Chain A
Amino acid sequence: MAEETILSVVDLHTSFTTDKGEVKAVNGISFNLTAGKILGIVGESGSGKSVSAYSIMQILEKNGSIKSGQILYKGEDITKWPESKMRDFRGKRCSIIFQDPMTSLNPVFTIGYQLEEAIKLHTDRRGKEARDRAVEMLELVGVNEPEKRIKQYPFEFSGGMRQRVMIAMALACEPDILIADEPTTALDVTIQAQILELMKDLQAKLGMAIIMVTHDLGVIAQMADEIIVMYGGRVCERGTAEDIFYRPAHEYTKGLLRSIPSVDTMGQRLEPISGTPINLLNMPKGCAFCPRCDAAMKICLEQQPPETRTVDGHLAACWQAIRTEMDAGMVRVEQKA
C-alpha cells in the first residue's frame, strides 16, 4: 500500500505578541503526517510542540498567529481557509484531545449531551441516531454501561474515564487526524497504560493518523512510528523510534536520553544537560541549543544548522552530527527540501 501523506506542515512560523516583545514559539518546522501512522512530537516546555499542534487546528490564543508557512491538508493550504471552513475541519477531519480531562468537559451538561453536540454539529445524525452513536462511541472507548453513563455529569467520572470520554468525542465524527496533546500527563501510570493501549487499539480499528505531543520519552518510545524532537521552536532531529533512541545524532537528543533514569543506568550518576531552559524572547543567533551544549563549536554560535542526513539515514540539525558525517567520508551535505 502506498503511503499517503495526509497533512504536510511546511516551514511553519508561529509567534505571540506580548508586552515584552514577540515570542517566536515555532520557528520554521516542517513535517509530513502519513495516513494511519503515529507521529510523536517530543520536547520540553517551551519547545513549541503544543503551539505547532494548535497552529494546525488554528486554535491559538488571541495574541498568537501563524506568521508564515503552509499547512497542507490533502494538498489544500488550510491556513488560507476562512473560519467557517476551518470549523468544519476541526472535529470532522481533525480532532484534538487535551492534557487535562478535568477542565475540557463542561461540568453543567451531561456526558451524553456533550457527545451528541459534537455529533449533531458535524454529521446528519439527529435525535435517536445521534444518541445511539454516542452510546456506540462510549462503548468503543471502553466505558462500562454506556446507556447509564451517558446520563451522568463529568464529576461522576474519574480522570481516566473522562479522558476516554474526550477520546470518544474526538473520534465521534471519524476524523482523519487525531492530535493528542499530552493526553496522559495528568493521569496515573496504571491509568496511563490503559489509555495508551486504548489509543493504539482505536488506531488499528479506525485507521486515523495520530500526532502525539508529549514531553515523556517513555510514552513516545511506546507509541510513535516516527519521532520529531523539538527544541526552541525548531526540529532538532527526526527519525523512527529506533533511530532516535538507539542512534541519536543531535547533541540535544543525546543529552535528553542521558538525563532520564533508565534500568541500564541505575546506580550510576545521571548526566544532565547543563544550563537553564531557553528564553524565547532572546533566541541565540545560531543553533538554539548551543548555549547549553557541551560540544558547541564556533559555527554553532553563528549559523543555524541545516537538517542533514546522518550516517544511518535519519535527519538531524546539528553541526556536530555534520562533522561526524564528514569524518565518516560523507562530505555530501544534503539538505531536506
Chain B
Amino acid sequence: MKQRISGFFEERIDLTVLRKWVKEKSVPQHKHSFWYYFGGLALFLITVQIITGILLALYYSPTPANANSSVRYIMENVKYGWLIRSIHFWGANFLVAVVFIHMFSTYFMKAYRKPREMMWVLGVLILLLVLGFTFTGYLLPWTTLSYFATKVGVNTPSVMPFFGKFITDLLQGGRGVGASTLTRMFTMHVVVLPLLAIVLISLHVLLSQVFGSSVPLSQRGRTGATRFFPDFLMRDAAVWAGGFAILLAMVTVFPASLGQKVNPILPAPLGIKPEWYFLFVFETLRRFPETIAIGAITLGIIIWLLVPFIDRRASREQKSPFFTLFGAAVLIYIISMTLIAYATT
C-alpha cells in the first residue's frame, strides 16, 4: 500500500530533491539548542489558534446586539464551547509569550546576522501581526473592558503626524467605537491578518529551511548535529505535546471568563488597562507626552527591524557587545514597564 502510494507520486513528480533534503537536513546541537524549539512551538500554537478560531466563527455574530450574547451562548450552550473559547483565549496569551521568547533568543544568539537578515525582519513583522491579532480579537466579545480598552487603543495613533488620523479612522470606521469598528475588527481578525500571516509565516519558514538554524558565535566549532527527520521532529513534537498539555491545564483550571455586555452610554469604569503584553506601551504612554511616546515606540520598532543591517560586526562573524547591551536594555525596559503598570493600576 505504502509503495503504491509513493509509486503514484513517483510517476508524476520527481521527488529526488525532496528525498535528498529530508535525508540531509540536520539541526546544530550545542548548549543553546534549547531555544530552537520556540519557533516550532509558535507555529504549533498558531495552528491551534486557527482551528479554534474557525470553530468559534461558526457561532460568533459580529454585531453590537449579538456579539456578547453569541460568545455567552458558545460558552454556556454549545457543547465544549467553553473549552474551545478558553483554548483560543489562553492560546493567544501563550502565543504572544512564545513569539517574544523566540524573538529575544534569536536576538541574543545574533541569529539575525548575514545571511538571515530577512528572516529577522519577517519575524519582527510576524510579532507585530500576532499583536494585531490580539488587538483586533480583544473587542469581539463586546464587553465593557474590551470596548473601552479598544477605544483607547484606536485613538492612540491619532496623535501621530501625517497618517495617524487615517489609521484611527480606518480602525474605527466612524466617529467613535461602534458597530463599524466591530465589523472592521472582525474582518481584520479573520480575513486581512490571516492572509498576511500566511504570506509572512510561509516566507519565514521557507527561509529557515533554506538557511537552516543559525549557530551562535560562541558555539562555533563546538557543535554536533541532529538529524531533523525523525530525531529533531520527534523532540519538536514532544515540545508541542508538552506545550499543549500546559495549555489544557491552564484552560481547565482557569477557564476564560466573559465580562458584561458594554453599555457605550455609560462612562468608562476606573482602572481600565490592556492585556499584559501591551502594558509596557500603556505605561510608556502614561509616563511621557503622547506624541513623544508614540514617536519613540515607532522609532524603536524601526530600529529593532533594522538591527541586522546596523550590526555589521555580527555580520562579519565578530562579537558585538553593544547590540547585546542594547537588546538587554530593551528587554529590561519592557519587563520593568510591565511590572510598574501592574503595580500602579
A and B associate in one complex: no
Question: Which A residues form the contact surface with B (CB < 8 A)?
Answer: none
